[in-house]
């Protein structure tokens, strides 16, 4: 009876006070992929927007891996004990485990609010501050050490291998995820290479245009210099010709004067 009362109180907190994106009916079924746990932590500012942005509300093994990696770190920050065995129990839907985890999260959030480590969101969410006290002391008495700040991906991969209903499907999902990552990386490399090539082509074309403009300006300058030099030489030739004609005329006039005086 006490378990049922605890479940109803926590269910009311999640559905009515917090107001998750979807209603929690069965703690085991609805929390197994870690999405709503992440959303709960995100709603209370325990998880950043960027961290929660990678969550997927899916049952695929790769989605569970990604979700619980982020959940583990946030729970460590909140001071809630969470290791691979507890994650495995949530994923495999062992009765009472998800309920107790939510209870521990609610207690930790309440303690953080009391200590002033996080804002009190109950006013905006219509929370029931006294409901935690009604649940009584926690039934979880873990003797496991708190995990380090970063749980290794290999441990979660092993966890999902053990909890997956279809190991073949799990392996395929992991392989597909790696293939997708490889394809994304290849696509980025191709795009970067194409961008670099385009930039090089643009730079080469710009260089060619600059060179052509330089040649055109140089040719124009040479033409102007040639024309100016030709005009100068023409003027000099015309001046010399005029001087020669003047000299010839003076000589002819002088000869005529001599002939007249001799006569």
Distance, CA of 2 to CA of 67 (rounded, Å): 31
Distance, CA of 52 to CA of 31 (rounded, Å): 15
**What's residue 13's pLDDT?**
92
Distance, CA of 34 to CA of 59 (rounded, Å): 9
**What's residue 229's pLDDT?**
85
**What's residue 126's pLDDT?**
43
**What's residue 140's pLDDT?**
30
Task: Output b/e per residue, 50-60; b: 16+ Cβ within 10 A.
Answer: ebbeebeeeeb
The stretches in the chain having pLDDT less than 50 are 1, 125-151
CA distances from 55 to 51, 229, 233 (A): 8, 80, 86
**What's residue 154's pLDDT?**
59
User: At 164, phi and psi to the nearest 5?
Assistant: -65, 135
**What's residue 1's pLDDT?**
41
Query: Which three-class secondary structure string do you get for 70-125?
Result: HHHHHHHHHCCCCCHHHHHHHHCCCCCHHHHHHHHHHHHHHHHHHCCCCCCCHHHH
**What's residue 103's pLDDT?**
93
**What's residue 188's pLDDT?**
80
CA quadruple 74, 76, 80, 82: dihedral sign: positive
Distance, CA of 38 to CA of 95 (rounded, Å): 20
CA distances from 193 to 118, 190, 196, 198 (A): 46, 5, 5, 8
Distance, CA of 57 to CA of 34 (rounded, Å): 8
Q: Do residues 83 and 147 lie in contact, with contact meaning Cβ atoms separated by under 8 Å? A: yes
Distance, CA of 231 to CA of 257 (rounded, Å): 39
Total-model pTM:
0.52
**What's residue 101's pLDDT?**
94
**What's residue 106's pLDDT?**
92
**What's residue 35's pLDDT?**
95
Using DSSP's 3-state secondary structure scheme, residue 35 falls into helix
How deeply is 21 buried, as exposed, middle or buried, from its count of CB atoms within 10 A (0-12, 13-18, 19+)? exposed
Distance, CA of 124 to CA of 119 (rounded, Å): 11
């Amino acid at each position: 009876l006490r378990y049922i009362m605890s479940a109803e109180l926590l269910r009311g907190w999640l559905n009515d006070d917090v107001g998750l994106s979807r209603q929690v009916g069965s703690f085991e079924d609805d929390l197994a992929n870690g999405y709503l746990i992440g959303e709960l932590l995100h709603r209370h500012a325990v998880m950043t927007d960027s961290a929660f942005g990678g969550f997927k509300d899916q049952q695929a093994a790769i989605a569970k891996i990604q979700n619980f990696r982020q959940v583990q770190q946030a729970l460590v920050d909140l001071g809630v004990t969470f290791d691979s065995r507890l994650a495995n129990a949530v994923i495999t839907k062992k009765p009472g485990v998800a309920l107790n985890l939510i209870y521990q999260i609610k207690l930790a959030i309440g303690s953080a609010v009391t200590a002033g480590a996080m804002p009190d969101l109950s006013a905006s969410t219509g929370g029931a501050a006294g409901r935690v006290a009604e649940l009584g002391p926690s039934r979880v008495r873990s003797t496991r050490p708190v995990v380090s700040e970063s749980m290794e991906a290999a441990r979660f991969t092993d966890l999902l291998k053990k909890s997956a209903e279809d190991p073949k499907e799990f392996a395929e999902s992991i392989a597909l995820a790696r293939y997708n990552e490889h394809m994304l990386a290849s696509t980025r490399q191709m795009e970067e290479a194409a961008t670099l090539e385009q930039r090089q082509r643009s730079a080469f074309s710009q260089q060619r245009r600059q060179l052509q403009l330089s040649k055109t300006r140089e040719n124009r300058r040479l033409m102007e210099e040639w024309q100016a030099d030709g005009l100068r030489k023409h003027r000099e030739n015309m001046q010399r010709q005029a001087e020669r004609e003047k000299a010839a005329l003076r000589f002819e006039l002088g000869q005529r004067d001599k002939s007249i005086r001799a006569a």
